[in-house]
Amino acid sequence: MELTVADLRVTFPGAEEPAVAGVDLTLAGGETLCLVGESGSGKSVTALALMGLLPGRARMSAGILTLAHGGGTSDLADLDAEAHRRLRGRRMAMIFQEPMTSLNPVMTVGEQVREVLTIHQPGISAAEGRARVEAVFAQVRLPEPNQRYDEYPHRLSGGQRQRVMIAMALVAEPDLLIADEPTTALDVTVQAEILALLRDLQARNGMGLLFITHDFGVVAAIADRVAVMRRGAIVESGDRQTLLREPRHPYSRALLDALPERRPRPAGPKPGVEAALEVRDLAVHFPVRRGVLRRTVGHVRAVDGVDLTVRRGGITALVGESGSGKSTVARAILRLERPTTGSVWWEGEDLARLDGAELRRRRRHLQAVFQDPYSALNPRLSVATMLTEPMAVHGLGRDAADRLARARRLLELVDLPADSLDRYAHAFSGGQRQRLGIARALALEPRFLVCDEITSALDVSVQAGILDLLLRLRAEEGLSLLFITHDLGVVGYLADEVAVMEAGRIVEHGTTDQVLRSPREAYTQRLVAAVPRVE
Amino acid sequence: MNEAGPQEVARVTPARAIARAIFARRGARLGLAWIALVALLAVFAPFLASSQPLLVVGEGGFASPVLNHLAPEDGALLGVFLAVLVAWRLARRPRVALVTAAGLVTVALIASHTLLEPPRLVAHEQPRQTVAAGDWDWVVWAPVPWSPDDYLRDYGHTGLEAPLEAAPTRVHWLGTEAGGSDLLAGMIHATRVALGIGLVATGIALVIGVVIGGVMGYFSGIVDILGMRVVEVVEAIPTLFLLLIFVAFFGRDLYLMMVIIGLTSWSVYARYVRAEFLKLRQQEYVQAAVVAGLPLRSILFRHMLPNGMAPVLVTASFGVASAILAEATLSFLGLGPVDTPTWGRMLDQAVQSSTFNWWMALFPGGAIFCTVFAYNLLGEALRDAMDSEAA
């Protein structure tokens, strides 16, 4: 098999710039090409163009766009919709990012995969099809393929669903597999398994793999060759070693330099020894209710006996996989959730015991920045209102004019233009929104900041700016931070101490160097080993 | 490097952006134009259709019999109209606009109830007779020189007449009703009921629904469970039959109808607001407001309500249409208000006598159709605009 693309262009009507502006690439059988770039660089549009899945209003043109496969050579630019459809699945297949929504919830996963098979090989009998699907399930290492066949998607975990998606892509034995960020929504340990699986399957089937990602760690783990995309064009391509070690193009260099694990840890003030915030034996149990009367039949122990200390002026990272309870710890500290037992000591007071007006007064000192830059800002409030309302409630600033002046200084502090005050959230990019979220948290002059996955939705170059902003604020304002993340690269760059959570408990707590370099607990060792690294 | 500067459109407030998106749609402009026309007719009805001349000039000077016959509600409506105009002009400063408008409405209400005292018994024939007798030099008639309750006693003849079929001495553009009164005049005055019943009934339902739904959605838990049971009970009450019962017991009162329609139709809004609030509670900006220690009032009404009103407003515009239809249905069944002209009551007369009186079906029916259609167009455009805003 051989994929050849020359001068591929895609434009959307009404857009100022083409989404894809002259992409050239080649991919041979048994080879993995990683297409890397930040959001909006045109990687996914390129994949959709190859698959013939572009929306109808898009305009596509190409110098060459051919796929040589087991059944001859097809000119992908010239195919009509029906011919393209026959090629999809049989000769080329695609895996998407979101395993939770990529499967039909009312069909068993086995039938969904078998449907793909019978469409491309109509002669196949039901029993034979089932056997083939179970064989592919075994190939993608789904446990007990015979039983999995009759399961509905909601019974499978995210990793298992992604395995079903891969099985669906592979069942008709395509020559070319396109994977669009297939592991971005998964935990690192699951990601490591899926990447190993893809490498393995490719070695066995000899297919070409076009792998789209924004994560250089993943690139280092899977690519043979790498192409860096920016604004619809490939700025640099080469084999993995050369590109990761000696990038020639300034953009690839800037991208790689923005990786937190590649940047030298900045020298900052040493955190104090005394604790700013102490969490003791914290537990948060959610009742499970059933029936008409909503009787409590059990509890989900989201957080189950957590001890945690954040030092004055220090940054403590709380890491763990999804569902480990790290966000619930943050919500309990902020009293968005009432702790079931345990205490949260802040300046000699137990926040877990406070209520009403007492609690509202203390809230000023502990502020939060949230994960999703798009839902964290109220779309109906101007930036000025967003920043000054909390000030007015807590009696900061002499009058409205003084509060506006403070808001202007806050914007300056987070490097946003001062004329942002009368704008609304939709006018800002993801990174700018996250800066606004930080400005809003700082409006109350807090001394403690909880950051819950605040960079996980951002591109690396934007993330670098946000991380440096946090370090600067720590140095200038003397903030203490609890930084929740699943990205160990960010932890190594930012944190003084790390606490590792698993299933509602903290399994390891120590300095960043100790936990990341020589983890003591088995779970931490597995977690650290699963993180794909650029080195 | 990915952080592009804010665009210029940014200064547009979300509400303004939605308004702009609505006006960009032809259906919405059409619907709004019809509703505006109906509203103008409602406000200026006494000057558009009245048996009293607008202005008479004679040897003794001039007079305006129409003004002398203005009822308090005519004056109140004019005051409300003026207030809306002023508020529109001051839209850039919402607080000033609201205060000024509220003040104007209060003044208009008090003034019209103290100053306007129409004669209890109106002899509609009198101006026609005095004019015929040549008492005035110069007379300005209203565009439709008939009042809706002018049964043409001086013409002796009463009954249904098709448009322009009457005696050469009088012109009835749309024909006459069973009592002999002019249909066009009646239809112009009936716009008040059409507008009022929709807006007041929906307004009552909105207030109840938003408050109950908001409380259910924000507090959830046991409050939500009990609230939903109340909603289900209310939904089980058939509005039309309840209206029939109340009409039988308490007589045919228009205001009672508005209240009953309002009291039985709030459950839809409560459901929507509840669902929105349950969703909004999880939004990070609401959490941020809680963390910032903002008072509950601000969290509910500033941070949550404006973000959850979109589906409610869309439903409300359809609700206005169905309230109008409910009143029309009742009046058609002969159970509508007695002394107030309404489109439904006129429609009823189309089939009352042995013949089919086509004009009594076509014109009031067309008016009901257009008004309901206009509100539906508006609701449709509102939904599209909100959807495209949300996308």
Q: Is residue B9 very low, low, confident or very high in pLDDT (cuts 50, 70, 90)?
A: very low
Q: Do A376 and B292 touch (CB under 8 A)?
A: no
Task: Give the nearest partner residue to A368 out of B291, B295, B302, using CB atoms.
Answer: B291
Task: Give the nearest partner residue to A461 out of B1, B13, B295, using CB atoms.
Answer: B1
A220-240 pLDDT, tens digit per residue, is 999 999 999 999 999 999 999
Q: Long-range contacts of range B61-67, CB-CB < 8 Å, 24 or more positions apart?
A: B65/B127, B66/B142
Query: What is the Cα–Cα distance from A196 to A479, expressed in whole angstroms?
Result: 41
Residues on chain A touching B291 (C-beta within 8 angstroms): 334, 336, 363, 366-368
Q: Do A38 and B2 touch (CB under 8 A)?
A: yes
pLDDT at A131: 93
Residues on chain A touching B287 (C-beta within 8 angstroms): 336, 368, 370
The first and second tokens of residue B362, run together, are: 């076509």
CB of A371 within 8 Å of any CB in chain B?
Answer: yes
The first and second tokens of residue B131, run together, are: 């004019």
Residues on chain A touching B296 (C-beta within 8 angstroms): none
Query: What is the Cα–Cα distance from B95 to A483, expressed in whole angstroms?
Result: 42
Q: Do A366 and B291 touch (CB under 8 A)?
A: yes
Three-state SS for chain B is CCCCCCCHHHHCCHHHHHHHHHHCCHHHHHHHHHHHHHHHHHHCHHHHECCCCCEEEECCEEECHHHHCCCHHHHHHHHHHHHHHHHHHCCCCHHHHHHHHHHHHHHHHHHHHHHCCCCCCCCCHHHHHHHHCCCCCEEECCCECCCCCCCCHHHCCCCCECCCCCCCCCCCCCCECCCCCEHHHHHHHHHHHHHHHHHHHHHHHHHHHHHHHHHHHHHCHHHHHHHHHHHHHHHCCCHHHHHHHHHHHHCCCHHHHHHHHHHHCHHHHHHHHHHHHHHHHCCHHHHHHHHCCCCHHHHHHHHHHHHHCHHHHHHHHHHHHHHHHHHHHHHHCCCCCCCCCCHHHHHHHHHCCCCCCHHHHHHHHHHHHHHHHHHHHHHHHHHHHHHHHHC
Chain B nearest-CA distance from A419, in A, is: 10
Task: Give the nearest partner residue to B3 out of A362, A390, A431, using CB atoms.
Answer: A431
**Is A418 strand, coil or helix?**
helix
Chain B nearest-CA distance from A42, in A, is: 14
Nearest partner of A227 among A43, A60, A49, judged by Cα: A43
Mutation site, B232, B284, B298, B303, interface A, largest A CB count within 10 A: B284
Mutation site, A365, A381, A410, interface B, largest B CB count within 10 A: A381
Q: What is the DSSP letter of A428?
A: S
Q: Do A183 and A101 form a contact (C-beta atoms < 8 A)?
A: no
Torsion of Cα atoms, A230 then A235 then A236 then A237, to 10°: 70
Q: What is the pLDDT along chain A (535 residues), one digit of tens a residue?
A: 899 999 999 998 888 888 999 999 999 989 999 999 888 888 989 999 999 888 888 889 988 999 998 888 888 888 888 888 888 888 899 998 877 788 888 999 999 999 989 888 888 899 999 999 999 998 888 888 999 999 898 888 888 888 899 899 888 888 999 999 888 878 888 888 889 988 988 888 889 999 999 888 899 999 999 999 999 999 999 999 999 999 999 999 999 988 888 888 777 777 777 888 999 999 999 888 777 667 777 888 889 999 999 999 899 999 988 888 899 999 999 999 899 999 999 988 999 998 888 898 889 999 999 988 888 899 888 899 999 999 999 999 889 999 999 999 999 888 888 888 888 888 888 888 999 999 999 999 999 999 998 888 888 888 888 899 999 888 888 899 999 998 888 999 999 999 999 989 999 999 998 999 999 999 999 999 988 887 6
Q: Which amino acid is present at A314? A: G
Q: Do A424 and B10 touch (CB under 8 A)?
A: yes
Q: Do A429 and B4 touch (CB under 8 A)?
A: yes
Buried b (16+ CB within 10 A) or exposed e, A230-263: bbbbbbbbbebeebbeebebebbeebbebbbbbe
Q: Which amino acid is present at B12? A: V
Q: Do A52 and A67 form a contact (C-beta atoms < 8 A)?
A: no
Q: Do A337 and A329 form a contact (C-beta atoms < 8 A)?
A: no
Whether B12 has a pLDDT exceeding 80, the answer reads no
Query: What is the Cα–Cα distance from B274 to B312, expressed in whole angstroms?
Result: 10
Average pLDDT for chain B: 84
Q: Which amino acid is present at B29? A: R
Question: Which residue from B minimizes the CA distance to A420?
Answer: B6
Chain B nearest-CA distance from A152, in A, is: 27
Most distant CA pair in chain B: distance in Å? Answer: 89
Specify the pTM: 0.78
C-alpha distance from residue B12 to each of A151, A381, A426, B19 (Å) = 50, 11, 10, 11
Query: What is the Cα–Cα distance from A311 to A319, expressed in whole angstroms?
Result: 17
CB of A395 within 8 Å of any CB in chain B?
Answer: no
Q: Do B2 and A417 touch (CB under 8 A)?
A: no
Task: Give the nearest partner residue to B293 out of A393, A417, A429, using CB atoms.
Answer: A393
Query: What is the Cα–Cα distance from B219 to B229, expressed in whole angstroms?
Result: 15
Residues on chain B touching A371 (C-beta within 8 angstroms): 284
For chain B, the C-alpha Rg in angstroms (whole number) is: 25
CB of A286 within 8 Å of any CB in chain B?
Answer: no
Query: What is the Cα–Cα distance from B189 to A237, expressed in whole angstroms?
Result: 78
Query: What is the Cα–Cα distance from A523 to A503, expressed in whole angstroms?
Result: 11
Residues on chain A touching B290 (C-beta within 8 angstroms): 336
pLDDT at B7: 41
Query: What is the Cα–Cα distance from A467 to A478, expressed in whole angstroms?
Result: 16
B376-390 pLDDT, tens digit per residue, is 898 888 888 877 655
Question: Which residue from B minimizes the CA distance to A429?
Answer: B3
pLDDT at B71: 86
- How many residues are listed for chain B in this entry? 391
The first and second tokens of residue A443, run together, are: 């409006």
Q: Which helix (H) or strand (E) holds A138?
A: helix A126-139
Task: Give the nearest partner residue to A380 out of B7, B12, B14, using CB atoms.
Answer: B14
Q: Is residue B10 very low, low, confident or very high in pLDDT (cuts 50, 70, 90)?
A: very low
Q: Do A364 and B293 touch (CB under 8 A)?
A: yes
Query: What is the Cα–Cα distance from A162 to A140, expressed in whole angstroms?
Result: 10
Q: Do A489 and A261 form a contact (C-beta atoms < 8 A)?
A: yes
Chain B residues at the A interface, defined by Cβ less than 8 Å, are: 1-7, 9-15, 225, 283-285, 287-295, 298, 302-303, 306-307
Buried b (16+ CB within 10 A) or exposed e, A87-117: bbbbbbbbbbbbbeebbeeeebbbbbbbbbb
- Residue B179: how many other CB atoms lie within 10 Å: 15
Q: Which residue has the tokens 């000030």?
A: A391
Q: Is residue B1 very low, low, confident or very high in pLDDT (cuts 50, 70, 90)?
A: very low
B121-166 pLDDT, tens digit per residue, is 777 888 888 888 877 888 888 888 888 888 777 676 667 777 777 6
Q: Which amino acid is present at A1? A: M
Q: Do A417 and B6 touch (CB under 8 A)?
A: yes
A window 454-513, beta carbon within 8 A of B: 459, 461-462, 465
Tell me the pairing of strands B61-63 and B55-58. antiparallel
Chain B nearest-CA distance from A95, in A, is: 25
ipTM of the assembly?
0.78
CB of A365 within 8 Å of any CB in chain B?
Answer: no
List all residues 6 or more positions away from B260 whose beta carbon is below 8 Å from its beta carbon: B239, B242, B243, B246
Poorest-confidence range of A18-32, B10-24, B188-202? B10-24
Residues on chain A touching B310 (C-beta within 8 angstroms): none
Task: Tell me the backbone φ, ψ of residue A481, rounded to 5 degrees.
Answer: -125, 140
- Residue A350: how many other CB atoms lie within 10 Å: 14
Q: For residue A14, with 0-12 CB atoms within 10 Å meaning exposed, 13-18 middle and 19 or more buried, which class applies? A: exposed
Q: Do A368 and B295 touch (CB under 8 A)?
A: no
Q: Which amino acid is present at A214? A: H
Q: Do A427 and B302 touch (CB under 8 A)?
A: no
Q: Which amino acid is present at B120? A: R
Tell me the pairing of strands A72-75 and A64-69. antiparallel
Question: Which residue from A minimizes the CA distance to B288?
Answer: A368
Q: Do A317 and A372 form a contact (C-beta atoms < 8 A)?
A: no
Chain B nearest-CA distance from A215, in A, is: 16
A80-139 pLDDT, tens digit per residue, is 888 888 888 888 999 988 777 888 889 999 999 999 898 888 888 999 999 999 999 988
Distance of CA A136 to the CA centre of its chain: 28
Tell me the pairing of strands A275-290 and A448-452. unpaired
- Which residues are paired to A176 by β-bridges? A92, A208
pLDDT at B117: 81
Q: Which residue has the tokens 């008072």?
A: B295
Q: Which amino acid is present at A2? A: E
A489-527 pLDDT, tens digit per residue, is 899 999 999 999 998 999 999 999 899 999 999 999 999
Chain B nearest-CA distance from A328, in A, is: 13
Average pLDDT for chain A: 89
Question: Which residue from B minimizes the CA distance to A258?
Answer: B1
